[in-house]
Amino acid sequence: MKTLYIIILSVLLPLLCLGQQDSQYTQYMYNTLNVNPAYAGSRESLTMFLLHRTQWVGLDGAPVTNNVSAHTPLGDSNFGLGLSFVNDRIGPTDENTITASLAYFIQISENYKLSVGLSGTADFFNLDVNKLDIYHQTDPQFQNFNNSVSPNLGAGLYLFSDKTYFGLSVPNFFETNRYNDNDVTVNKEKMHFYAIAGHVFEFNPNLKFKPAVLTKLVEGAPFQLDVTANFLLYDKFTIGAAYRWDSAISGLVGFQITNSIFVGYGYDRETTKLSNYNSGSHEIFIRFEIFKNNRITSPRFF
């Protein structure tokens, strides 16, 4: 089993470093703050979000993500504030990211607002060499690894109404080199470009269709496209499916327990040969909202 772990990790680690440097989410439409700072405060309430994702269950060293975030409008101003914490564990690496976001809202028409957002991030990256099977224990390449802290800045635009949204963002402008040795970079954090969009179609008062799409571009990694189709029944129960381009298919469910509490679950099944080595990915989240001063005059579905 140990030999199998080494072989699989050797094959996957370059893909993990390039293809999934940022955390990956199936239910991204509820977790937009983590890819776009302009989302902060857009729900016009104090919103708290908790998520746990276990990816590629059964594969040693597979990604595990935990996310806690909160965002709110600032009084009656046009500003929104957000704070997010993400813990990402992949194989021997453990990464903690703290992000503060500030958004400013501009009413551009009767139905639409444009939000401009900025974010500041502190990233704490740790490689545990004790989890590596080093052939030569005295190899100097593995003697001087130090935990690193990297600051970064991001920005985004978010155009939205009660039923439609579009977003563009770059969460990290600065590319960070990990563990340089004589100008050779062992791991380099690349700049990511995100685009997100969605709409709510009301077929009747008890049935709504909520398609969404997320794209991600990063140098050195395949183009990523997530397409999701959710149906909302009686403004309470959500069921849907998603497709991640050349990667996975997903099933999604959600339930509005009260006006303030929404829970959701997603399951991914790989469509690649990687499916031979794992039993899928699980993602569960809960969202809490505290409404302020009756500011919300119509329901929000994203």
Q: What is the pLDDT of residues 52-98, one digit of tens each?
A: 999 999 988 899 999 999 999 998 899 999 999 999 999 888 899 99
Q: Is the pLDDT of residue 121 over 90?
A: yes
**More confident call, 301 vs 23:** 23
Confidence of residue 290 (pLDDT cuts 50, 70, 90): confident
Residue 145 has pLDDT above 80, yes or no: no
User: Tokens in use for 71?
Assistant: 């965002």
Is the pLDDT confidence value at 110 over 70?
yes
Instruction: Tell me how far apart the alpha carbons of residues 254 and 238 are, in angstroms, rounded to a whole number.
Output: 5
Scan for tokens 């959600």, then name that residue.
254
Q: Is the pLDDT of residue 172 over 70?
A: yes
Per the CB < 8 A criterion, the answer to whether 80 and 116 are in contact is no
- Report the mean per-residue pLDDT for the chain: 84
Give the 3-state secondary structure of residue 3.
helix
The alpha-helical segments, DSSP class H, found in the chain are: 2-19
Tokens representing 150 are: 């990297």
**Cβ-count burial of 157 within 10 angstroms (0-12 exposed, 13-18 middle, 19+ buried)?**
middle
Q: What is the mean pLDDT of residues 254-266?
A: 94
Integer Cα distance of 45 and 19 in angstroms: 34
Computed from CA positions of residues 136, 139, 143, 144, in that sequence, does the dihedral angle turn out positive or negative? Answer: negative
Q: What's the predicted TM-score (pTM) here?
A: 0.85
At residue 163, the pLDDT reads: 93
| Phi/psi of residue 285, nearest 5 degrees | -145, 165
Q: What is the pLDDT of residue 61?
A: 86
Q: 79-90 and 64-73 as β-strands: parallel, antiparallel, unpaired?
A: antiparallel
CATH superfamily of 25-175+188-291: monomeric porin ompg (2.40.160.40)
DSSP classification of residue 8: H
